[in-house]
Amino acid sequence: MSIDAKHAVELPVPRKSAWQRGRLLAALAVLVALLLLGHRFVPNRWGSLGSLLETFLPWLGLAVPLLFLLAIVRRSATAVLFALVPLCAWVGVFGAQVLPESTVTYDLTVVQHNVSDENDDVPGTVEVLLASDADVIALQELTDGIGFRFEEALAEAYPHHAMQGTVGLWSRYPLADVAPVDLRPTGIDASWDRGLTATAQTPGGDVAVYVAHLPSARVGWRGLDSAQRDQSIAMLGDVLAAEDAGAVLVLGDLNTELRDRALVPVLEHVGAPEHGFGFTFPARFPVVRVDQVLAGGAEVVRTWTLPRTGSDHLPLAAYVSLPDAG
């Protein structure tokens, strides 16, 4: 028996339920969570992808509201449920950093700032630095006449200072044993001079202070180009390994985040608390903290950013507790 095509009945296509829709979104949510929790397993073999991920790791949290929004648009209960997975992962990794800080005791206030060789507001920058009431100030990119201008402007408040190449150190306390630190990677011109060390003779005891400005790491279509920076990090790590002072400070534009595995040679000797984010670059809309205040033998107990200056970096301030002080 045949059926006339005019009288054929089209059966309705069954619609997927809210639990059946959004499986791709659910898979993306799991991927984001895995990257947050397992970033150390992302290899650096191709374009330093692991370091690139770790540099911007906090920003993976932006995927969470996007996943929730797409899940709602898709009307997928499954996607909504799975969007909670990267949310929990982000809180697990960064939650402690956003909790209110407790009261701290400290012995020194220090400031680290890349002032930029294109800074057209040196007086305004000096005003911000002086308002911090820091005991020690480290500056980078003191090229051309900018270094002399900072030297003059800070002389009264900071009678003790040292400059080496394009980096400088200003202190309320006497500085001894001032010396250059060779951090120049292979292939960079001999005029590149971005490291110094000095002993700050503070009331809490002598502190070996290192000021450094490491090469930049560039993000391109091949990933993260960081070979020269990584070589300088290794050189700084070797210098710190040979340092026998009881208290050590490293102040500088290290051009990397604390979570970047490339910084391990330095972090084996000095460190800082992971509280708050303190993004310092770019100053107009900071997305990464490349300026660091690190300590060994002493302890960095709090860090925060200062108001914007004429630089493309924000200044980073820190409280430091010295051993056996008080």
Mean pLDDT of 147-156: 95
Let me know whether 84 and 142 are in one domain: no
Q: What is the CATH number of the domain that holds 265?
A: 3.60.10.10
Runs of H (alpha helix) within the chain: 23-37, 49-55, 63-74, 77-94, 122-131, 146-154, 227-241, 264-267
% of the chain at pLDDT higher than 90: 79
Mean pLDDT of 243-258: 96
pLDDT tens-digit series, residues 64-73: 999 999 999 9
Let me know whether 268 and 125 are in one domain: yes
Mean pLDDT of 54-58: 94
Report if residue 4 sits inside a domain. Answer: no
pLDDT tens-digit series, residues 283-311: 999 999 999 999 999 999 999 999 999 99
Nearest to 31 by CA among 80, 82, 73: 82
Let me know whether 118 and 44 are in one domain: no
Let me know whether 39 and 77 are in one domain: yes
Let me know whether 164 and 58 are in one domain: no
Report if residue 101 sits inside a domain. Answer: no
Render 68-89 in DSSP notation, one character per residue.
HHHHHHHT-HHHHHHHHHHHHH
Q: Is the pLDDT reported for residue 326 higher than 50?
A: no
pTM of the model as a whole:
0.90
Let me know whether 84 and 115 are in one domain: no
Let me know whether 88 and 47 are in one domain: yes
| Burial call 40-70: b when 16+ CB within 10 Å, e when fewer | eebebeebbebbbbbbebbebbebbeebbeb
The average confidence (pLDDT) of the chain is 92
Domain end point (choices 66, 96, 126): 96
Report if residue 144 sits inside a domain. Answer: yes
Report if residue 135 sits inside a domain. Answer: yes
Let me know whether 147 and 31 are in one domain: no
- Report how far residue 122's alpha carbon sits from residue 150's, in angstroms, rounded to the nearest whole number: 7
Residue 275's pLDDT is: 80
Q: Pick the more confident residue, 102 or 250.
A: 250
Let me know whether 170 and 87 are in one domain: no
Let me know whether 172 and 64 are in one domain: no
If one counts the domains in the chain, the total is: 2
Residue 31's pLDDT is: 97
Instruction: Looking at mean pLDDT, say which of 17-26, 49-58, 165-174 comes out highest.
Output: 165-174
Report if residue 14 sits inside a domain. Answer: no
Let me know whether 67 and 163 are in one domain: no
pLDDT tens-digit series, residues 197-217: 999 999 999 999 999 999 998
Would you say the C-alpha torsion 181, 182, 188, 193 has a positive or negative sign? Answer: positive
Per-residue confidence band for 144, with pLDDT thresholds at 50, 70 and 90: confident
Report if residue 231 sits inside a domain. Answer: yes
Let me know whether 75 and 117 are in one domain: no
Domain end point (choices 64, 96, 128): 96
Q: Which domain holds residue 305?
A: 108-321
Report if residue 193 sits inside a domain. Answer: yes
Sole residue written with tokens 């997305």 = 287
Report if residue 3 sits inside a domain. Answer: no
Residue 12's pLDDT is: 65
pLDDT tens-digit series, residues 90-130: 999 999 888 887 788 999 999 999 999 999 999 999 999 99
Task: Write out the two tokens for 320.
Answer: 């430091």
Domain end point (choices 63, 96, 129): 96
